[in-house]
Structure 1
């Protein structure tokens, strides 16, 4: 069965998309600790139109974080296709790691999002709140499956009832 072409959100309002997002679920990746909890991303629009990205997670009681920059692949396009660049320690010299960040689904109020990339190796379900309604969660998982993701790999990210400062 051919994979359905991955459609992305059109007309993303970057300003509205900024702020804090909680990771509700993800495909585990080598860039994140396996036992990470309270994982979140904070986005801030910079004057040059790029986005400052701060990803944070807590593992064994310690905060880990990485900062990067996101930018639209094609500034003239209305498609929500971004690239994210992180400078990954502990390599010396510091090596940039660049990845795709495609917003596949976003509700009208910018309260939850499904983010992936064309390789289908990475997937995130993000929410403005640390907990997401099960019905909405299941809809987002179904949307991921419809565009060819192996949703058996999705792992929910533990989030505290009271988010960290």
Structure 2
């Protein structure tokens, strides 16, 4: 299966895709805290057409986050293949690390999405709410399976209701946990 080109959504309206997305499930990463909860991503469109990325998670009551930039892998293509660039470490922008962000499925209302990478080592199910209908979840898992992903590795992300407010959180100064997880390295 790994040799087969992954199916990717075409014609994504980036402006509609902006905003907050909650991680419903993802492949675990040794760089992400095992007890990470309320994991989410917030995307903001920049004037130059790139996207500001803010990834957050809570671990031990502290907020960890990393920021980066996403941009179309090929500006001439209407395929939803993005590159995401983070600086390592986040507070010392010296070494840029770039990873793939391919939108494999997105519903017509831009309410839930399946994100993968050509390596198939990383997978995310995202939703505008911090919970997703079980039937839809199963359909997205089946779609990923059909694209050659080992879906047994999917872990559901724990969320609290209501979600934590960013401003209330004490910061996690380490901030490194997201980098490798999102980049598939």
TM-score calculated relative to the size of structure 2: 0.85
Q: C-alpha root-mean-square deviation of aligned residues, in Å? A: 1.6
- Structure 1 residues 88 and 127 mapped into 2: Cα distance closer, same or farther (>3 Å)? same
SS in 1 for 2:138: helix
Contact 2:67–2:90 (CA under 8 A) maintained in structure 1: no
Contact 2:103–2:113 (CA under 8 A) maintained in structure 1: yes
Contact 2:38–2:158 (CA under 8 A) maintained in structure 1: yes
User: Which whole-Å CA distance do the structure 1 matches of 2:103 and 2:46 have between them?
Assistant: 19
Partner of 1:65: 65
**Is residue 2:35 matched to residue 1:41?**
no
Q: How far off its partner does 1:142 sit? A: 0.4
Q: How far off its partner does 1:91 sit? A: 9.2
SS in 2 for 1:104: strand
Partner of 2:137: 137
Contact 2:87–2:93 (CA under 8 A) maintained in structure 1: no
Partner of 2:29: 29
User: Which whole-Å CA distance do the structure 1 matches of 2:56 and 2:25 have between them?
Assistant: 14
Deviations 1:50-84 (A, max 9, x none): 00000000000000000000000111100000000
Structure 2 stretches lacking a partner, 5+ long: 166-185
Q: How far off its partner does 1:34 sit? A: 1.6
Q: How far off its partner does 1:94 sit? A: 3.0
- Structure 1 residues 2 and 95 mapped into 2: Cα distance closer, same or farther (>3 Å)? closer
Contact 2:82–2:102 (CA under 8 A) maintained in structure 1: yes
Deviations 1:13-40 (A, max 9, x none): 0000000000000001234212100000
Contact 2:66–2:90 (CA under 8 A) maintained in structure 1: no
- Structure 1 residues 79 and 93 mapped into 2: Cα distance closer, same or farther (>3 Å)? closer
Partner of 2:88: 88
Partner of 1:15: 15
Structure 1 stretches lacking a partner, 5+ long: none
- Structure 1 residues 65 and 3 mapped into 2: Cα distance closer, same or farther (>3 Å)? same
User: Which whole-Å CA distance do the structure 2 matches of 1:121 and 1:138 have between them?
Assistant: 19
**Is residue 2:6 matched to residue 1:6?**
yes
Query: How many residues align structurally?
Result: 165
